[in-house]
Structure 1
Amino acid sequence: MMNGVTIGQAAAFVGVTVKTVRHYHKLGLVEEPERDSSGYRRYGSDELLRLVQVRTLATAGVPLAGIGPLLDADAEQFAAALAGVERQLTERIEELTARRDTLHRLADGDRALLPDRAVALLERMPGLGFSPDYVAAQRDALVLARALVPEGYDGFLTQLEHGLDDPGYIDLTRRGWEAETWEPDDPRIEELATAMADHYLANPTLLGDPTSLNAWAKASAQYKLINNHRKDQAPISARLTALTETKLRAAGVPLPHR
């Protein structure tokens, strides 16, 4: 009777594939047994034990490159190495949990890209009479602002919150979006820009706090990208915003230039 088992039997006993056993051999984790008189490699209890140990550590999350030194370590080194692997696994679990949460937020639309506070603002807008196109433009601006000017983002949200609580702001903003149907040289554009600037100056909270204004003032390139987004789709609105900003700068408001 021949001693030991074939590689296929060894793999089956241990619960891995033949390819995996060969990979362990290649990495030097398990020594290949000598060939018997028939030319076959026969796996005995020593090799099977080593295969079980390697497979168990690999399944537990220990990188293959670290298994060899781990098996050859003393008890103290082994415990320390396992603690390190546990820390890595914990970090990986936290990362995967965050990814899963992002997937859940993706299923909930805007929540993948925006914090709940911003989503709440978007959800208020349709009930205040803002069109779907306007809400979509604001969504884009909120996403871009969060990515490009994070230090000014909370202040930006606060401005919008004040605006949505202000009937005058809502009326002027809605009129500004409706102005897309006007002719480019319509004198009402200039009049509306003046009314908007005057309303901002009369209600400074709509302009943002000093910290937010300072953050945006230092981010002129980002401000330009955000403000010019959808410019081709809403040229009148873009012109209206530019006119309003010019009037505000003339009044001393530190807005960045486009």
Structure 2
Amino acid sequence: MPLPAIPRRVKIGDAAAFAGITPRAIRHYHAIGLLAEPERGSDDRRRYGYDDMIRLLWIRRMADAGISLDDIRAGFEGATGIEQSLARLEESLASKAAAIEAQRAAVHRLREVGSPLGLLSPLVSSRLHDLPPGALRPADLDTLLVTERIFGPLGAAVQADRFIVLATHPELRAEEDRLAEAEKSLDDTMSPGDPRIEDLAAQRCAHETALAVTIDRSGLDEALDNLLDQEDEHTGEEEGGARMSAMEAIGKMPYDFSPARVRYEERVIELLHPADQDGGTPEAC
């Protein structure tokens, strides 16, 4: 059986098709010195021979492996330092592989949980996954998301106890809703010195104290300790983006609080943590 006609040289379109790249890529290789300009035919078009095609095939394989064009050129030229470039590439690929695996795990949790709760860290989502549908409100998830960003998965897991108690104690949820509605009145029309601020802060303090007592009696703290023993490797691994201190993060998270609302929040902290106030006298809510 006779062989088909075998060309001694081919045009750029045929070379690109065989190598699995584009003519534009080949022209770019010429421009950066990665591939020498070939001979031209009588029509002044480039013609590529066997050695050119071998070079193109190796370029394609190395590029597919993630090696930069500069490093490919250095490798062809026998330049020193290529090993360091390859080591950096390997580290980068390992990091990308870890990121992809983390994404797959997040998608799996999201599908398994069936709500945005699955996008939080495993430490938090596993803490709350047994709650009935609708027990966690969108605002609760928003709060956990912010807390996880500021204080990490452990901080959000601790805060999750609060939402477990609210979801399982209707009287505490009702009081939480009542206080949240009352706090909306602390707008720009109210003076920071309004006596209603003190009264509402005392009510919030009493509510937070009742929540803390319920959490303590429920044994949730002990359950969290057990969970941490089992999943310690997850703490600190789930945070995306650059890490920052809690104070830095708090300073970058905007809240549309009026001066009255700011004073109210300060007063609640003072009532809940009297020992932290310089020279303060312990107060009761």
Contact 1:163 1:169 in 2 (8 A): no
Of 207, 216, 219, 1:196 maps to 207
Of 98, 111, 116, 1:110 maps to 116
The amino acid across from 2:122 in the alignment is D
Q: Percent identity?
A: 25
Contact 2:151 2:246 in 1 (8 A): yes
Q: Distance in 2 between matches of 1:4 and 1:71?
A: 23
Question: Taking structure 1 as reference, are residues 91 and 155 closer, same or farther at Cα in structure 2, changes over 3 Å only?
Answer: closer
Q: Distance in 1 between matches of 2:147 and 2:30?
A: 54
The alpha carbon displacement at 1:30 in A equals 0.9
1:1-258 correspondence runs (5 A): 3-73=8-78, 85-105=89-109, 108-111=114-117, 113-120=119-126, 135-150=137-152, 154-155=154-155, 157-158=157-158, 160-161=160-161, 164=164, 171-179=171-179, 192-193=203-204, 195-196=206-207, 199=210, 245-250=269-274, 252=275
Question: Taking structure 1 as reference, are residues 72 and 205 closer, same or farther at Cα in structure 2, changes over 3 Å only?
Answer: same
Q: Distance in 1 between matches of 2:83 and 2:131?
A: 57
Contact 2:38 2:47 in 1 (8 A): yes
Paired residues in the alignment total 231
Q: Distance in 2 between matches of 1:10 and 1:84?
A: 32
In structure 1, stretches of 5+ residues that fail to align are 209-217
Deviations 1:65-124 (A, max 9, x none): 1111112339x9877765654443333222333344445556643246522343355556
Question: Taking structure 1 as reference, are residues 221 and 47 closer, same or farther at Cα in structure 2, changes over 3 Å only?
Answer: closer
The amino acid across from 2:171 in the alignment is D
Q: TM-score, normalised by structure 1?
A: 0.62
* 2:171 alignment partner, SS class: helix
Deviations 1:144-184 (A, max 9, x none): 1222233xx63563365278469998634532323567797
Q: TM-score, normalised by structure 2?
A: 0.57
Question: Taking structure 1 as reference, are residues 73 and 42 closer, same or farther at Cα in structure 2, changes over 3 Å only?
Answer: same
Contact 2:166 2:172 in 1 (8 A): no
Q: Distance in 2 between matches of 1:169 and 1:224?
A: 33
* 1:149 alignment partner, SS class: helix
Contact 1:110 1:119 in 2 (8 A): no
The alignment's C-alpha RMSD in Å is 4.9
Deviations 1:171-218 (A, max 9, x none): 345323235677977xx9688457436647867959x9xxxxxxxxx9
